[in-house]
């Protein structure tokens, strides 16, 4: 299968950004407290979905829309869907047609380049995982990123603004149910409604590989996930599916961080890392410019590595002084450990990109003071958001 491997499964996630009026972020106010206004003026929001308490993976957590890749995402039948417009027939699914999607300076991450069975190799993996991200976003939130076939004559292979296709609500709801029951129906929907997933509007953002559970050989649910980002001109209606997701919210990045810091929501480290990256961009125009600038750069696979200390665990990311030269990708080695407390071990590093977990208190500290392979680094000092003197997770 295309999605299930020996050690992990493949998936795609979408950071869906929507332009909005400037937003004045206000702290939660209770009786007797001050009413100072924090002018962080983010002029965009991101879509967060709350997973069901019954979910096997990250129950009750707030996440970006996304999910596991399906065989249909790699189907050769997509060639017919994309070639349904005269302008695109001769181009087919060539590099010229795909534009920024497959033009990289250097080798792509393994999930984009690995050898697959012949039937899963007809279309580029970079395209298949974009289709997956768009399909999963539609299933989980009802937001459908697509273009009508008749509009493809004006497609810009280098950049296509994100937009939600206009389809009657009842028709959309019916197809959403069908796609949720069978991922193959997404291809059928595109064919019958004469639409094409707007893969041009998605930009590669990052790639996260779930770490080996507890740094050991024990089994666990692991995912190799491509993170994409897309900017919409307006905030569309998003409705959770009441199945995998039980709530949806368009929030500014600092609102998500604040709610997490105040234990109102749970957020997994990869999502928290990426939202902290977005804290660098208050203006959506600058975010779009950054997406365009790095569209030709390859993303790096991020494999967190756990190091056990006397009183806790340090989870290090690439760029950290303690990150191993040859990380244990498959869980074939013994867990890493260092003698001393978190504080003592921490003194041995100048460059830090890590999550420190105190097993006694459960407190977690997210620290990053180094560049991250050409990508913007996350802002981990949240004191400016009035979350407390220390950036505690």
**pLDDT at res. 230:** 96
Residues 186-221 have pLDDT tens digits of 999 999 999 999 998 999 999 999 998 764 444 468
**pLDDT at res. 30:** 31
Other C-beta atoms closer than 10 Å to the C-beta of 179 total 21
In angstroms, rounded to a whole number, what is the distance separating the alpha carbons of residues 300 and 297? 9
Q: Where are the domains of the chain?
A: 9-293, 303-372
Tell me the average pLDDT of the chain.
Answer: 84
Give the mean model confidence (pLDDT) for residues 156-165.
Answer: 69
> Topology of domain 9-293, per CATH?
Nucleoside Triphosphate Pyrophosphohydrolase (3.90.79)
Query: For residue 271, is pLDDT > 90?
Result: yes
Q: Would you give the distance in Å from CA 203 to the centre of its chain?
A: 11
Query: For residue 308, is pLDDT > 70?
Result: yes
More confident residue, 224 or 372: 224
**pLDDT at res. 89:** 52
**pLDDT at res. 56:** 72
Residues 23-59 have pLDDT tens digits of 544 443 333 333 333 345 899 999 999 987 777 777 7
Would you place residue 246 in the very low, low, confident or very high pLDDT band (cuts 50, 70, 90)? Answer: confident
In angstroms, rounded to a whole number, what is the distance separating the alpha carbons of residues 163 and 33? 42
**DSSP 3-state helix, strand, coil percentages of the chain (rounded to 5)?**
30, 25, 45
Would you place residue 108 in the very low, low, confident or very high pLDDT band (cuts 50, 70, 90)? Answer: confident
Query: For 123-132, 153-162, 166-175, 301-310, which range has the lowest pLDDT when averaged over its residues?
Result: 153-162
């Amino acid at each position: 299968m295309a999605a299930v491997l020996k050690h992990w499964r493949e998936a795609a996630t979408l950071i869906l950004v929507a332009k909005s009026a400037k937003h004045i972020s206000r702290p939660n106010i209770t009786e007797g407290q001050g009413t100072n206004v924090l002018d962080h003026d983010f002029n965009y929001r991101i879509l967060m979905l709350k997973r069901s308490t019954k979910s096997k993976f990250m129950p009750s957590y707030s996440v970006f829309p996304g999910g596991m890749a399906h065989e249909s995402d790699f189907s050769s039948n997509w060639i017919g869907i994309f070639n349904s417009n005269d302008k695109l027939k001769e181009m087919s699914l060539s590099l010229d047609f795909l534009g920024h999607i497959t033009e990289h300076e250097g080798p792509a991450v393994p999930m984009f380049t690995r050898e697959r069975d012949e039937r899963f190799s007809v279309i580029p993996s970079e395209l298949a995982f974009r289709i997956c991200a768009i399909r999963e976003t539609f299933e989980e939130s009802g937001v459908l990123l697509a273009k009508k076939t008749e509009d493809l004559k004006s497609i810009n292979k280098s950049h296509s603004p994100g937009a939600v296709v206009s389809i009657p609500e009842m028709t959309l709801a019916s197809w959403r149910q069908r796609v949720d029951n069978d991922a193959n129906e997404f291809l059928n929907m595109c064919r019958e409604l004469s639409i094409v997933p707007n893969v041009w509007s998605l930009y590669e953002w990052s790639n996260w590989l779930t770490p080996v559970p507890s740094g050991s050989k024990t089994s666990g649910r692991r995912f190799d996930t491509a993170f994409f980002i897309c900017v919409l001109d307006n905030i569309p209606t998003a409705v959770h599916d009441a199945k995998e997701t039980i709530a949806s919210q368009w929030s500014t990045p600092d609102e998500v961080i604040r709610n997490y810091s105040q234990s109102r929501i749970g957020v997994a480290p990869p999502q928290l890392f990426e939202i902290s990256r977005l804290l660098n961009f208050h203006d959506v125009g600058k975010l779009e410019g950054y997406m365009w600038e790095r569209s030709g750069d390859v993303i790096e696979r991020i494999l967190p590595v756990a190091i056990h200390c006397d009183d806790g665990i340090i989870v290090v990311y690439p760029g950290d002084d303690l990150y191993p030269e040859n990380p244990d990708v498959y869980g074939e080695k013994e867990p890493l450990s260092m003698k001393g407390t978190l504080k003592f071990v921490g003194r041995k590093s100048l460059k830090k990109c890590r999550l420190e977990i105190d097993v006694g208190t459960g407190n977690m500290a997210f620290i990053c003071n180094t560049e991250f392979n050409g990508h913007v680094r996350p802002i981990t000092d949240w004191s400016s958001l009035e979350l407390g003197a220390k950036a505690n997770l």
